[in-house]
Amino acid sequence: MTIDTHPLDTVLAAARAFLGDRLTTNAAIREQHSKGEDANPPVLPDAVAFVETTEEVSRLLALCNTHGIAVTPFGAGTSLEGHVVPVQRGISLDLSRMTQVLEVNAEDMDCLVEPGVSRHQLNDYLRDQGLFFPVDPGSHCSLGGMVATRASGTNAVRYGTMREATLGLEVVLADGRVIQTGGRTRKSANGYDLTRLFVGSEGTLGVVTKVRLRLQGIPEATTAAVCQFDSLAAAVETVIMVMQAGIPVARIELADADQMRASIAYSKLAFEPLPTLFLEFHGSPSSVREQAEAVEALSNEMGGRGFAWAEDAEARGKLWKARHDAWWAANALYPGCRGITTDVCVPISRLAEAIVHAKETAVEMGQNTCIVGHVGDGNFHCVILFPNDDPEGLRKAWELDRRIVAQGLALGGTCSGEHGIGLGKREFLVEEHGAEVLDVMRGLKASLDPKGILNPGKLFFD
């Protein structure tokens, strides 16, 4: 008599033959892979696979595809939109051990890396060659995850996002086939741009196993500056004036008064709890001074005060660490609370309206919030705090999130500038693009992943 074996058992037995102990059903490890840093409910995968090569990814995906087992890619686990939550259980595909920098072409300013390399690790590796990778989200995320979410960061206003930084990819498709997209040239008119298709696809079309990135030269001089304002509107209007004046700032970041209160306490900053702009300028010593002086003059017109420069690396590092720690600072400001964050991005001319509306709506609803933003490109985050283990508090937080997004869309913006859609913003994708566009997206998904095994439940509702 033949005894039927459950497809999952078949997959686990076959995968263990080539992964060994790197395929685990350990409860603690499964718990670690059940969620990211967001407020979406965790889901335990049936197993976690720690892969180390493209071949292992290919073999595992082919196996899972044959038996219809869901696969959820997992990098550093820093997602803010539920990307790593394995909603159909199955296998969490952990790429964190794929950490090799495979090539650096200093003359052409590009490199080839595996997906588990972090931006910090890459920049440490590049520093002695006078190069750096500029895309810098606040989290300690992996480059594979940054590709998957089309991430950006504080430097995007000068250097662009992962869309601009990614020259090519190696991708494993759902059936195990391995394809190469893009290349080392700075331009190509050669067929469909498949690299751009996979950048931002959130692991739903394929698993990225190699990334070719565009690099930048470390600037001759770098200067940071800080300026504070009496009102949020004045700070945002200063940003608009700076951008319209064509001043090539490398970074221009906003923190509202509540965020400054959080950051002063968390990062031990010597500032007042007022709306604040953090800026950075790259170039020659004379050009960065000219840029800083031009911004100072514009900020003075809007009532800015305390414009201060930070030229030494230690002072700049402390300043930007405080900015990158803003999420944790906001959560620490209200003990017993946790946060969700918006990711609205609007045309720069509508930025002041969007941010002021977000803050006023939060006050109207009685919600504790902190606002930060990469405001040079119109992107801001409203961190909405609510009590732990309080379903009603979470519901109110999501309601404020919906109102802020609705206003952003009404102003010609997008629901997500850099965090992606994941689980948390699926309803907004429909509102932003309409049913016809989603039908096209679903068609692309069906052509590359007909069995729907890759990161199911993300981007759109199943």
Cα distances from 286 to residues 132, 220, 236, 283, 291, in angstroms, run 22, 10, 27, 8, 9
Tens-place pLDDT, residues 161-216: 999 999 999 999 999 999 999 999 988 898 999 999 999 999 999 999 999 999 99
**Which two tokens mark 2?**
């033949």
Query: Which CATH architecture group holds 7-94?
Result: 2-Layer Sandwich (3.30)
Q: Are 441 and 460 in contact (CB under 8 A)?
A: yes
Q: What is the pLDDT of residues 321-355, one digit of tens each?
A: 777 788 889 989 999 999 999 999 999 999 999 99
pLDDT of residue 314: 84
Domain 101-217 CATH (choose: 3.40.190.10, 3.40.50.150, 3.30.465.10, 3.40.50.720): 3.30.465.10
Task: Look at 4-13, 61-70, 119-128, 257-266 and tell me which has the smallest mean pLDDT.
Answer: 4-13
- How far, in Å, CA of 367 to CA of 410, rounded? 22
State the SS3 of the chain: CCCCCCHHHHHHHHHHHHHHHHEECCHHHHHHCCCCCCCCCCCCCCEEEECCCHHHHHHHHHHHHHHCCCEEEECCCCCCCCCCCCCCCCEEEECCCCCCEEEEECCCCEEEECCCCEHHHHHHHHHHHCEECCCCCCCCCEHHHHHHHCCCCCCHHHHCCHHHHEEEEEEECCCCCEEEEECCCCCCCCCCCHHHHHCCCCCCCCEEEEEEEECEECCCEEEEEEEECCCHHHHHHHHHHHHHCCCCCCEEEEECHHHHHHHHHHHCCCCCCCCEEEEEEEECHHHHHHHHHHHHHHHHHCCCEEEEEECCHHHHHHHHHHHHCHHHHHHHHCCCEEEEECECECCHHHHHHHHHHHHHHHHHHCCEEEEEEEHHHCEEEEEEEEECCCHHHHHHHHHHHHHHHHHHHHCCCECECCCCCCCCCHHHHHHHHCHHHHHHHHHHHHHHCCCCCECCCCCCCC
Q: Whole-angstrom Cα distance, residue 228 to residue 448?
A: 50
Closest CA to 459 of 199, 83, 62, 36: 83
Mean pLDDT of the chain: 95
Q: What are phi and psi of 167, to 5 degrees?
A: -90, -30
In this prediction, residue 2 has a pLDDT band, given cuts at 50, 70 and 90, of: very low
Domain assignments of the chain as residue spans, ordered by start? 7-94, 101-217, 220-332
Query: Confidence band (pLDDT; 50, 70, 90) for 5?
Result: low
> How many CB atoms are closer than 10 A to CB 107?
5
Residue 357: predicted pLDDT: 97
pLDDT at 390: 93
Residue 3 has pLDDT above 50, yes or no: no
Distance CA 19, CA 58 (A): 12
CB 169 within 8 A of CB 147: yes
Tens digits of residue pLDDT in 205-247? 999 999 999 999 999 999 999 999 999 999 999 999 999 999 9
pTM attached to this predicted model: 0.94
Residues 6+ apart with CB under 8 A from 319: 224, 226, 278, 310
pLDDT surpasses 50 at 1: no
389-392, long-range: CB < 8 A, 24+ apart: none
CATH code for the domain defined by 220-332: 3.30.70.2190
Residues 139, 42: Cα–Cα separation, whole Å: 20
Neighbours of 49 (CB within 10 A): 25
d(CA 32, CA 203): 19
pLDDT digits (tens, 9 = 90+) for 86-131: 999 999 999 999 999 999 999 999 999 999 999 999 999 999 999 9
What gap in Å lies between CA 237 and CA 156, rounded to an integer? 19
User: With b meaning 16 or more CB within 10 Å and e meaning fewer, what string describes 349-384?
Assistant: ebbbbbbebbbebbeeeebbbbbbbbbbbbbbbbbb
45-49, 164-168, 313-317, 401-405: which range is least confident on average? Answer: 313-317
Contact 326, 255 (CB under 8 A): yes
**N-terminal to C-terminal alpha carbon distance within the chain:** 38
Which tokens belong to 25? 């059903």
Are the CB atoms for 133 and 68 separated by under 8 Å? no
- In order of 44, 248, 344, 432, the CA distances from 280 in angstroms are 42, 10, 23, 33
pLDDT on residue 266: 93
* 434: Cβ contacts below 8 Å, ≥ 6 apart: none
Question: Tokens at residue 280, please?
Answer: 């950075």
